Amino acid sequence: MPTREEFPKDDQSGRFAYEGLDRVIHEKARLSILTSLIAHPKGLVFGDLKQLCGLSDGNLSRHLQVLAEAKLVEINKAFEKNRPQTTCRITAQGRKQYLEYLQVLEQVVRDAAAAGTEIDKPGIIPRRLFPA
């Protein structure tokens, strides 16, 4: 007799597929960039963003380009004290898509927590995500 679990066949198709996990956002470096930018809605200069994300110049440039092409961030090049300065900002569309992505991410956490009491004990996953 198999020890695998039985589950109802109906309505389970794609139950854990997480289609909403947009790959443009989900990639680790880009998730890091977007979370930095959503936490700093007025924008960040390239050097500060690089520091917050712990990325190299090349990696940050490459991933910013992907995000800009997807219209999730906007990049402005200007001069400050006669030196070129690149500023990055999340767009309204980027904010919207990031929030949609975040809802799916929370579903992953809920699904994992629903798995059992062992995973759902204090210190592993807090009962309240936002303590009062």
Closest to 57 in 3D by CA, of 29, 26, 79, 35: 29
Backbone angles phi, psi at 95, to 5 degrees: -60, -45
| Cβ 74 vs Cβ 89: under 8 Å | yes
| Cβ 48 vs Cβ 82: under 8 Å | no
Count of residues that bind a second copy according to CB under 8 A: 65
The answer to whether residue 5 forms part of the interface with a second copy (CB under 8 A) is yes
The answer to whether residue 122 forms part of the interface with a second copy (CB under 8 A) is no
Strands, DSSP E only, in the chain?
Answer: 44-45, 73-80, 83-90
Percentages of the chain per state (helix, strand, coil), in multiples of 5 = 45, 15, 40
Site for a second copy in 6-35 (CB under 8 A): 7, 9, 12-19, 21, 23, 26, 28, 31-33, 35
The answer to whether residue 108 forms part of the interface with a second copy (CB under 8 A) is yes
Binding-residue pattern over the window 59 to 98 for a second copy, x denoting contact by CB under 8 A: -------------------x-x----x-x----------x
Can you give the binding site for a second copy, defined by CB under 8 A?
A: 2-5, 7, 9, 12-19, 21, 23, 26, 28, 31-33, 35-36, 38-45, 48, 51-55, 78, 80, 85, 87, 98-99, 102-103, 105-106, 108-116, 119-120, 124-130
